[in-house]
Amino acid sequence: MRERMRTTAVAAVAVALSAALAAPAAAAGPGGGRTGDNDGHKATVRAVKAAVEGGVPGVTLRAEDRRGVWTTTAGVGNLRTERPRSPRDRYRVGSITKTFVATVLLQLEAEGRLSLDDTVDSWLPGLVTGNGHDGTRITLRQLLNHTSGIFNYTADEDFGRTYFLKDGFFEHRYDTLDPEELVRVAMSHKPDFAPGAGWHYSNTNYVLAGMVIEKATGRPYGEEIRRRVIKPLHLNGTSVPGNRTGVPAPGSRAYGKLTEDGSGPVHDVTRLNPSMASSAGEMISDSKDLNRFYRALLTGRLLPKKQLDTMTDTVAVDDRNGYGLGLMSTELSCGVTVWGHGGGIHGSISDAVTTRDGRHSLAFNFNGDWTGDPGAVIEAEYCGD
C-alpha cells in the first residue's frame, strides 16, 4: 500500500507495504488498443521497456486520450511459462483502494449521514486510544487526508517481519486479520504528531475509514463500494476480495523478493489473504476499470460538486505533490497536473492518474515489487513525445 511519492518498491513492501501500499526481463512490445500505433506514446513505450530491462517481470498499461484507447504490454506475466502480460490483466491495486473508500465516505456526507468534522471517537468509541492517540480529537477529514497523526500500522517492525519478509510471509500469508487488530498494532506506538499538526501517510487512517463506513451504513465497506461505485460504473474487473486469496482471471503472477534491500531470489507471492491490507489496500482491478473510475470521479459522476471540491482540496506534501481526500495531485515536469493514486502490495505496483478534466487517463501495473519507477512512466505519457 504505497504512496506514489515513494520511488522504491522496497520501501513499499518491507517498510510497508507501508504506504500505497505505492511504487524480470523479456522483450517489450505494443499490444491491444490501437495495435502497433505508438503515435503520441513513444516515450511511454520507452519507459515501459526500461522498467522491464531494469528487472520488472512485466508491465501492462492502458492510456485513454483524445485519440482514443491505447494499450501496451512488456515482459512476462509468468516467469516459469514466459506467458506475456495482457492488456486485460487484473491485479492487486494496493492503496488505490483509498480513493474508493474516500469516495464512499464523501457520498455519505452528501447524504447527510455523517460529517467530515465528526470525530473518530463519535463513530468508533474507545478504539483510537493509548500512547497519546485520542480519537476524540481526530476528525474523519484528518483520516482521509493523512493529517491525523495516527501511527501507520504497516510500519510496525514486528508486523513487517511477519507479513512482508520471507520467513514471516510464507508462514502467515493466509492469516485473517480483523481491522481492529490492525488498529491495535498502531495504538501500541505513539502518534506521529498532534491531530492536524502535520502530514504523514498512514494506512491505519483508511482501516478506520472503512470501519466508519460500516458503522454508518450497517454494511461492510466493500459492499458499499460494490453498491455505490463498482456496479453503477460497470467495473467488471474490479472487486473487494475480503479473505479470498487469489486474483480472478485473467491475470498474471505477482513476484517479490521479500527482503528489506531488494536482494535475493524472486518468489511468487500471488496468493495471499489481503485482510492484512483491509480498506487501506485490498482491492483488485484492471487498467480499463481504473481509468473509467478516475475519469468518472474527476468529472463529477460520483460526487456532488461540493464534495468533489472538498476531495481535491489538497495538503502540500512537497513542492510538486498534494494529498486531498484519498486523492493525490502531482505537477509533472512539463506543467501538467494529474490526479489519482498509486498502490503497492506484495508483487504488485500500480498507478492510475487522469487530468482534472478527465480527458487523458493512464493506468498501469508492474508485477514485481522490488524495482521499477512508476513516476517515469507517468512523466513519459504526459510529458514525452
67: helix, coil or strand?
A: coil
Q: Are strands 348-355 and 337-345 parallel, antiparallel or unpaired?
A: antiparallel
What's 127's DSSP letter? T
Catalytic residue among 18, 95, 348, 361: 95
123: helix, coil or strand?
A: helix
Q: How far apart are CA 135 and CA 148, in angstroms?
A: 9
- Could you give phi then psi for residue 322, rounded to 5 degrees? -130, 155
254: helix, coil or strand?
A: coil
The b-or-e profile of 135-165 (16+ CB within 10 A means b, else e) is bebbbbbbbbbbbbbbbbbbbbeebbbbbbb
> Could you tell me where the DSSP H helices lie in the chain?
9-10, 42-53, 97-110, 120-123, 140-144, 157-163, 166-172, 179-187, 203-217, 221-225, 287-298, 305-311, 374-383
Is 95 an active-site residue?
yes
Give the residues across from 329 on adjacent strands.
322, 339
Q: How far apart are CA 87 and CA 364, in angstroms?
A: 9
Q: Cell for 93?
A: 491495486
Long-range contacts, 52-56 (Cβ 8 Å, 24+): 52/24, 52/25, 52/26, 52/28, 53/25, 53/28, 54/25, 54/371, 54/372, 54/373, 55/24, 55/25, 55/368, 55/370, 55/371, 55/372, 56/24, 56/25, 56/366, 56/367, 56/368, 56/371, 56/372
Q: How far apart are CA 198 and CA 277, in angstroms?
A: 24
Closest alpha carbon to 92 in 326, 353, 367, 292 = 367
Closest alpha carbon to 190 in 177, 202, 208, 172 = 202
Find out whether 351 and 23 touch, Cβ atoms under 8 Å: yes
The residues that are catalytic are: 95
